[in-house]
């Protein structure tokens, strides 16, 4: 008879990592309409990063963290240029579409049990 996987098995860690990554994708999707959850999602990424190290979810955490920081950068640039150059609204719009793309693409790749790149 084979033993059950212990709670800290690689399979259990993979599933827990996918669950956390899914939660953060949901939070990021909600944050498309209100910004506060975006910060909660990245905090989860940073606090739980060690738990997913060595799993496929590690790449998704990296993807989500980069999505957060780059979108924050472009939001700051967009707001800084709204009144100066007037192109800020275009930058903000493109940034929003880019986040939508990143959330959808990452979530679909996660659903296929593949790492994010």
Could you report the per-residue pLDDT of 60-76, keeping only the tens digit for each? 999 999 999 999 999 99
Q: Is the pLDDT of residue 16 over 60?
A: yes
- For the record, the structure tokens of 107 come out as 């979530």
Average pLDDT, the chain: 91
Q: Is the pLDDT of residue 39 over 50?
A: yes
Q: Is the pLDDT of residue 26 over 90?
A: yes
* Burial per residue of 65-94, b for 16 or more beta-carbon CB atoms within 10 angstroms, e otherwise: bebbeebeebbeebeebeeeeeebeebbee
Q: Give the span between the Cα atoms of 80 and 117, in whole angstroms.
A: 30
What's the pLDDT at 6?
54
First to last CA, the chain: 40
What's the pLDDT at 44?
97
């Amino acid at each position: 008879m084979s033993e059950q996987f212990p709670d800290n098995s690689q399979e259990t860690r993979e599933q827990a990592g996918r669950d956390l990554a899914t939660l953060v994708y949901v939070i990021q999707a909600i944050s498309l309409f209100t910004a506060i959850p975006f910060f909660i999602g990245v905090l989860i990424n940073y606090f739980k990063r060690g738990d997913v190290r060595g799993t496929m979810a590690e790449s998704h955490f990296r993807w989500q963290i980069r999505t957060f920081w780059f979108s924050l950068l472009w939001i700051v640039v967009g707001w800084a240029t709204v009144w100066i150059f007037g192109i800020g609204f275009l930058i903000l719009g493109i940034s929003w579409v880019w986040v939508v793309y990143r959330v959808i693409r990452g979530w679909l790749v996660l659903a296929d049990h593949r790492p994010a790149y």
